A and B are shown apart, each in its own frame.
Chain A
Amino acid sequence: MKNDNKDLDQEILSALIRQEEEDALAFFRSKNFRDGVERRLKERVGGKKPAIRSQIRFVPVLTGVLIVAIAGILLLIQRGPGTAPPPEFKALASALGQLPGFSHPPGQGWTVPQGQTGTSRLAESVRRTLVTAEQTKRDEEQHISIPAGTGKVPRLSLDQKMEILFKERAIERALLLFKGDSKEV
């Protein structure tokens, strides 16, 4: 017992530590430590996320895009109903104007293009009705137009009011027929 205690004195402790170190160092020396460090260094440096500075470069670009978007939204909101339509609408209107059924030169009313074939009788009658109604309405509008600067609305007789209502109704019916999906004939 006494000898055992003596064995565990400082010298033995140191010897044990040396023994442990030797075993571990044998393992350590069997490895290529330098290569391991270099490999980890490459992994760390190569796989590093881009620095914040490089990310900051994108901030002005994103801010510019955001400002333009906000300005566009504000312009759209401020654009009143009486302002000119956007260029896209104009382009669409001109494209539609090239189509046969939509050609409507100013002052000529609805016309059937020359040499146009394949139109049904129903469509022809609808067009005629529309042309007649439009012409009549234009005449009526000219007849009851409000003189500029007077600020007064002219009085209409009951017959005139009935005539306007009748024509409006006729145009509405013609449009519904043209549309083709109406159950009201």
Chain B
Amino acid sequence: METEETARLREQMMSYQEDVFRICLGFSRNPWDAEDLSQEVYLKAFLKIATVHKPDALRAWLLRIARNTCLDHQKKRRLFRLFQRSLTPSDVRAASDQPERVQTRERLAELKEAVRRLPGRQREVFVLREYGHLSYAEIAETLGLKEGTVMSRLNRARSAVLDFMREANDEKR
């Protein structure tokens, strides 16, 4: 039986759905998988809602579930990665777009590839910061790290992403 408190927590959780989706997008690299993963995150959260003792920490708890769900999903898909070709909404669009738009799309594809190539520890910090918009403190709490560690990993991740994109850009020229 759903209590009033449970219903209130559920409503509060639903207000974080775009945060959860963005994190899932950062890990999964395509919006369809991100939506599916977000639903899975909420399913898990709703089923474990009775374990929530600190409503103030609800968002952090939900984002932690999102991160764990995405990592589990990545493990499952690792075997199929070679055969997987991610399809994004930008790929679906016709080639009759403006040249600037095409260039942006190419860079987006490079960005996705760059994030995908990041080592796991750097990638999760990068995704939580750049896609989840979490503060250093929140990332540290979610991952159980010190803030200094979060910052150093994030710097390395950003450098790696930029290096990859520069190299990709140089190859085209």
Contact = CB atoms under 8 A, between A and B. Distances in A.
Interface of A: 1, 4-5, 8-10, 13-14, 16-17, 19-21, 23-28, 31, 33-34, 36-37, 40-41, 44
Interface of B: 14, 17-18, 21-22, 25, 31-32, 34-35, 38-40, 42-43, 46-47, 88-90, 104, 107-108, 111-112, 130-131, 158, 161-162, 165-166, 169, 173
A13 B18 CA distance: 21
A97 to B, nearest CB: 68
A161 B14 CA distance: 106
Contact of A33 (B31, B38, B47, B130): B38
Nearest to B43: A40
A37 B16 CA distance: 14
B92 to A, nearest CB: 10
Nearest to B14: A34
Contacts of A27: 31-32, 35, 89
B35 A33 contact: yes
A22 to B, nearest CB: 10
B43 A17 contact: no
SS class, residues of chain B in contact with chain A: helix
B130 A23 contact: no
B128 to A, nearest CB: 13
B111 A24 contact: no
A17 B21 contact: no
Given A16-B108, A31-B35, A23 B88 contact: yes
Contacts of B161: 13
Contacts of B38: 28, 33
